[in-house]
Amino acid sequence: MADANSALVFYHFGGVDQLLLAALDRSGSERMAMYREVAARANTLEELVEAAMHIYRTDLERGYITEFSELVAAAVTKPELRREIRARSEPWIAFIEQEWNRVLAGSALGRLLPAREVAYGAITFYLGVNLFSVLDEDHSRTEAVFDLAAGLAPRARLLTLRLPRRDRDVGSPPDEKEEGA
């Protein structure tokens, strides 16, 4: 906003906070479309971790982390921003929840770690990474967390196997189940 006319900002957006929220809305829509495609390619826990790493690195590289961090920092002293930012995080929570369920529903891990809570954890981690990225200039600490997740994901493979659904007749041969459907 270095060369922005403050009168025009107030005229068009009602203030700097509203301008920043509008920028977050625009980038959020673009990012959601892009990241839905990235996440849709994931079919295993390992691939979900890879997708999360890709999302983090892209957001860091393109400045989205800074954009979000600055708004959250402003919300510390401006309570009216909290509700706005929280509302804008809901589609991301739903996105994470949906992808977790798509890949892991029906598995022991999916039952052990409910999607909504995983989504809250992911958003909380992302927010922490956003703020910590300012202090962790070489990003080595955040990369170490992703490396840990990438190392744990293959070890959880048995927990990610899908269990038979309870509403099916597990004892019937597959052909009989399909014919009766």
What is the pTM assigned to this prediction?
A: 0.78
153: Cβ–Cβ under 8 A, 6 or more apart, which residues?
44, 45, 46, 48, 49
Tokens of 51: 């997708």
Residue with tokens 């999607």: 115
Question: Which tens digit of pLDDT belongs to each residue from 21-67?
Answer: 888 899 999 999 999 999 999 999 999 999 999 999 999 899 888 88
**Identity of the residue numbered 136:** D
Question: Which tens digit of pLDDT belongs to each residue from 79-130?
Answer: 989 999 999 999 999 999 999 999 999 899 999 999 999 999 999 888 888 7
